[in-house]
């Protein structure tokens, strides 16, 4: 028990000592993102059953064209959101990719295969899924 208390104190001391460094790194990172990334959010790409599917576009500030990645958040079609995975897009943007981060209808909003149909409207005749 005594060793555990010492170990816990050591971990806390290390974390407290590292806090100013982490804060500085976060400020530098924020400035980099602000200057190097262009963001367009909340673009409606599909309306189905009175629900709007939205997407966000993250792209390098440098002139394009840029190769583009379609990012579909995880969650087994039952949970998650595009907002919860924004930070996952940034490494790709820093490598020169544009990222399109999409939302889709979750199972509680519409039964299967609605989520897949919403997330891939281009794979259907006339470019839209069955509604």
Mean pLDDT of 75-82: 80
Supply the CATH classification number for the domain 36-127. 3.40.50.1820
Please state the domain extents for the chain: 36-127
Mean pLDDT of 87-98: 90
Question: Where is pLDDT greater, at 111 or 28?
Answer: 111
H/E/C letters for each residue in the chain?
Answer: CHHHHHHHHHHHHHHHHHHHHHHHHHHHHHHHHHHHEEEEEEEEEEEECCEEEEEEEEEECCCCCCCEEEEECCCCCCCCCHHHHHHHHHHHHHCCCEEEEECCCCCCCCCCCHHHHHHCHHHCHHHCCCC
Instruction: Tell me the per-residue pLDDT of 20-61, one tens digit each, with 9 for 90 and over.
Output: 444 446 566 566 667 788 888 899 988 887 888 898 999 999
pTM here? 0.66
Highest mean pLDDT among 29-43, 58-72, 80-94: 58-72
């Amino acid at each position: 028990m005594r060793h555990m208390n010492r170990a816990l104190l050591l971990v806390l001391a290390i974390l407290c000592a590292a806090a100013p460094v982490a804060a500085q790194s976060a400020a530098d990172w924020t400035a980099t993102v602000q200057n190097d990334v262009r963001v367009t959010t909340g673009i409606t790409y599909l309306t189905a059953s009175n629900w709007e599917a939205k997407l966000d576009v993250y792209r390098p500030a440098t002139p394009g064209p840029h190769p583009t990645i379609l990012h579909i958040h995880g969650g087994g079609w039952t949970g998650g959101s595009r907002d919860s995975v924004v930070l996952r897009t940034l490494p790709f943007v820093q490598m020169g990719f544009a990222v399109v981060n999409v939302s889709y209808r979750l199972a509680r909003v519409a039964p299967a295969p609605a989520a897949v149909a919403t997330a891939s409207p281009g794979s259907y005749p006339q470019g839209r899924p069955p509604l």
